[in-house]
Structure formats: C-alpha cells, structure tokens
Amino acid sequence: MQTRLSFAMQARRAQIVDPTVRVIAREWLSKASFTRIAAEAGLSRARG
C-alpha cells in the first residue's frame, strides 16, 4: 500500500533531501554530517 504524502510533508522532505544530495555530492558520504546538511538546508540543529 502506498501512502500519499501531504503537501507539507513533500515540502519538508525536499527541504531535507535536496541539501543532503548536494552535501554528499560536494563532500562525499564520509564527510557528510547532520550538521553540514542542516547548515546547507538552513535548518536548526535542534531535533525533537
């Protein structure tokens, strides 16, 4: 069964996935970190 994502969930996913791909492409997987990805995405490091 496939679940449809809401518009907000799709936007949030893009907000995280796109910067993750950019960081990995630029710095390789071994140097990618949550901190670098959050900075690329303009997100706070706080996790809840």
* Mean of pLDDT values over 18-23: 96
- What is the domain extent for residue 33? 10-41
Q: How far is CA 12 from CA 18, 21, 28, 31, 43, in A?
A: 10, 15, 23, 23, 11
* Mean of pLDDT values over 2-6: 80
Predicted confidence (pLDDT) at residue 18 exceeds the cutoff of 90: yes
What band does 5 get if pLDDT is binned at 50, 70 and 90?
Answer: confident
pLDDT over 70 percentage in the chain: 88
The verdict on residue 3 lying in a domain is no
The verdict on residue 31 lying in a domain is yes
The verdict on residue 4 lying in a domain is no
The verdict on residue 35 lying in a domain is yes
Q: How far is CA 23 from CA 5, 11, 13, 32, in A?
A: 25, 19, 15, 6
The verdict on residue 47 lying in a domain is no
Q: How many domains does the chain divide into? A: 1
